[in-house]
Amino acid sequence: MGAAAVVPVKAFSQAKLRLAPTLSPQARRQLAMAMAAGVVKACSPLPVFVVCDDLEVAGWASRLGARALPEPGLGLNGAVSTAVAQLASEGYRRLVVAHADLPLAKDLSWLAGKEGIVLVPDRRGDGTNVISLPANAGFRFCYGPGSFARHYQEAVRLGLPVEVARDPELGWDIDLAEDMRILA
């Protein structure tokens, strides 16, 4: 098999808690669901695997035509690592791991045609919004504040070519209330 996309999706009821001062729980839920649906759509024509630990998200993913990979209790890094290992064992050669909070994402499939490791940082150069990598690279994911630098160093540690793709659409994620101005 060729390439596939991996989209980690947090339970919609728990998504975007940092926006609580600005948005109601229902508004945060709707925002998270809409952004995640947009990212899943932007992965087309790649097969999409939604990594989640929530039954509602798993059902939602199935309705969108994605395959849910339930990874309960592993946290983001553990869940993505486990999903990548599983998909490598199923024969996928390349994976595009994209976060679900990219409201401007229109096309992620171009990343599947790259070589080595491609990192798409957030617009601040701090986080890692998308990683395209060989499925069997043994890459250690390390999301959280400052993840871009850690992911870059991980690519160097593995001795794989690394490309930094600064993409204004894929670099815009929603973490803070000020990030939502693009949606207005």
Number of domains in the chain: 1
- pLDDT score of 184: 62
Q: How far apart are the first and last CA of the chain?
A: 40
Q: How far apart are CA 69 and CA 27, in angstroms?
A: 26
Domain that holds residue 79: 3-183
Evaluate whether 22 touches 180 at the Cβ level (below 8 Å). Answer: yes
Distance (Å, rounded) from C-alpha 175 to C-alpha 32? 11
Query: Which residues are CB-contacts of 18 (< 8 A; sequence separation ≥ 6)?
Result: 175, 176
pTM of the model: 0.95
Instruction: Give me the pLDDT at residue 178, please.
Output: 83
Contact 131, 3 (CB under 8 A): no
Whole-angstrom distance, CA of residue 58 vs CA of residue 66: 9
CATH number of the domain residue 163 falls in: 3.90.550.10
Question: What's the CA gap between 183 and 73, in Å, rounded?
Answer: 32
49 Cβ neighbours under 8 A, 6+ residues apart: 4, 5, 6, 7, 66, 67, 68, 69, 83, 87
Q: pLDDT tens string for the chain (184 positions)?
A: 699 999 999 999 999 988 999 899 999 999 999 999 999 999 999 999 999 999 999 999 999 999 999 988 889 999 999 999 999 999 999 999 999 999 999 999 999 999 999 999 999 999 999 999 999 999 999 999 999 999 999 999 999 999 999 999 999 999 888 887 776 6
* Contacts with 165 (C-beta within 8 Å, 6 or more apart), sequence order: 111, 118, 119, 120, 130
Task: Give the pLDDT confidence score for residue 163 in this predicted structure.
Answer: 97
Task: List the beta strands (DSSP E) in 20-173.
Answer: 48-52, 67-70, 94-98, 117-121, 128-134, 162-164
CA dihedral of 99, 104, 105, 107, whole degrees rounded to 10: -170
Q: What's the gap between Cα 17 and its chain centre?
A: 18
CB atoms under 10 Å from CB of 176, counted, come to 11
